Amino acid sequence: MTIFCHIVETKGGQELETDALTDLRPFRIDVAQSEVDDLRERLRKTRWPDELPGAGWEYGIPLSLVRDLVTYWADGYDWRENEARLNDFPQYTTILDGQNVHFLHVRSREPNAIPLLLTHGWPGSVVEFMKIIGRLVDPGAHGDDPSDAFHVVAPSIPGFGFSGPTKEKGWDVKRIAAAFAQLMQRLGYDRYGAQGGDWGSAISRQLGLSAPEHVIGLHLNTLATPSSGDPEDMKLLTEKEKGYIEAANRFRQQGSGYFMIQGSRPQTLSYGLTDSPAGLLAWIAEKFHEWSDQPIDRDQMLTNISVYWFTRTANSSARLYFEFGRSGSSWGKVETSMVPTGVAVFPREIAPPIRRFAERSNNIVHWSEFDRGGHFAAMERPDALVGDVRAFFRRLG
């Protein structure tokens, strides 16, 4: 599929035809067999660290768990089978702001389907959405109302997965949101919704700030809601909300080391993660275990990790944390958004949002709280997430 815009740019006074820059090129995942064989060989030759007796999770992800996952990744997991499942989704690449960007684009047969931009986070990828895309695009096939259908666009964030490493500095949340706005225009979608968690939440929210005339609504399953620190505010908190504050404090004290490292020394970290698949697995799998309370499909998690490995994007994906801080951004500095916003709160989210704080800087029109689930909602609670997305956009109808 190709769109011809016939835009003319100049470089050194010479006109350049830029049709190629607006092409949407069909893409198919086809990892070389030599890469698959190399991965298995490296896994089988893993050099293991020691572990203190009875350490459990206190010092990090346990050795026994990583050993089991490495053994299965090397000798039980089938990349080709999961590669084929990913290739069931129509996907493309295009150039946005000078960067190659990969995306899934799955159109519904329903004539009134709503275009929906799905954005993943770290340590995720488009693999996160494998269980929800079919439900979103073709609800009738799953026994649901066909009128709830969406056209799904799911990009790989620049620097992540098949979008490949970024080639220059400055790919922060604002630049990514601007690129995704350009992508939706290129696909012919003038009005659309956006959904995301983790970085996908920040990017979706920024899209609403920078292009509100194009965004119908935002559905988020992660949302930073910093407290004002006012003692009077704290008196209003329910016991559940106090628990959310405590969870956020525990995360800052005990669980945010990865954020600080990736935000300050991504290059130094990258040597180990790019050379050792066991190291990459431990770095990512720890988050899937700590940030969820529902069993994560082991093959889906390993497919996600395999995408990082085969595309060599551990470094460039980590750079988003560096760029976030370098741009002057902060989770505590939240610009007010007027775009209608729906929030799905899952209790094992890193820092579950608090509505009274969220309403200060967001136009909250829909709020759902679930009794199970965590950070990776599309993988843990796909039915619940899809149902909430439908309910939110139905409300905007």
The C-alpha atoms of residue 157 and residue 171 are separated, in whole angstroms, by 10
Which tokens belong to 84?
Answer: 């084929």
Q: One of 198, 214, 219, 366 is an active-site residue; which one? A: 198
CB atoms within 10 A of CB 11: 7
- The answer to whether the beta carbons of residues 140 and 146 sit under 8 Å apart is yes
- The answer to whether the beta carbons of residues 219 and 344 sit under 8 Å apart is yes
CB atoms within 10 A of CB 212: 11
Q: One of 105, 120, 219, 375 is an active-site residue; which one? A: 375
CB atoms within 10 A of CB 287: 19
244 is annotated as an active-site residue: no
Q: Could you write out the DSSP letters of every residue in 195-231?
A: EESTHHHHHHHHHHHH-TTTEEEEEES---------H
Which tokens belong to 4?
Answer: 């011809």
308 is annotated as an active-site residue: no
Distance of CA 68 to the CA centre of its chain: 26
The C-alpha atoms of residue 299 and residue 379 are separated, in whole angstroms, by 11
151 is annotated as an active-site residue: no
Q: One of 77, 92, 308, 321 is an active-site residue; which one? A: 321
Looking up tokens 């990017």, which residue turns up?
203
Alpha-carbon Rg of the chain, whole angstroms? 21
ω before 123 within 30° of 0 (cis)?
yes
The C-alpha atoms of residue 253 and residue 277 are separated, in whole angstroms, by 28
Burial level of 158, CB count in 10 A (0-12/13-18/19+)? buried
Q: Which residues are known to be catalytic?
A: 198, 321, 375
